[in-house]
Amino acid sequence: MALLDKYKVLLDTAKSAGINDFQYAEQEGVLQIRGTAPNADIKNKLWDIYNQIDPNFLSGDVVMDIDVSSAVAGTQVKVITQNSNLNIRKGPGTDQPIVGKAAKGETITLISRANDQWWLVRTKDGEEGYCYAQYLEPVS
């Protein structure tokens, strides 16, 4: 099955959801998807659809590089790891590649709660991705 057919629902949802600068292309057996979502709920919805088509993202035939518009306001959260940096991942899961790190004690911006375990965050340097929620606490 061609990747464009396999991921048609994902691509159609991204197109209709108002992804800015939306681009996709199949290269060397991998579907590359890029753009900027107007809000975190849309980004999380795309990850949910991707997981339904390819449970646990096992096939590795998609690279989804969707950011959330920097105009999205968020609350501040503090990294509360024991003694190490917190990994920031491309998607919600430990199987997703690490795209950045946040230092113990660092304050970062919570964009949204993808679910009870994974929160979408942005560092002061603009790195965006998912962190394990257990290591974050709201700043009062």
pLDDT (tens, 9 = 90+) of the chain, 140 residues, equals 689 999 999 999 999 998 888 999 998 999 999 999 888 889 999 999 999 999 878 888 999 989 887 655 678 999 999 989 999 999 999 999 999 999 999 999 998 887 778 999 999 888 999 999 999 988 87
Name the residue with tokens 């009870």. 116
Give pTM, 2 decimals: 0.65
| All domains of the chain in start order, with CATH | 3-68 (3.30.70.1770), 75-138 (2.30.30.40)
- Return the structure tokens found at 128: 């965006």
d(CA 33, CA 44): 14
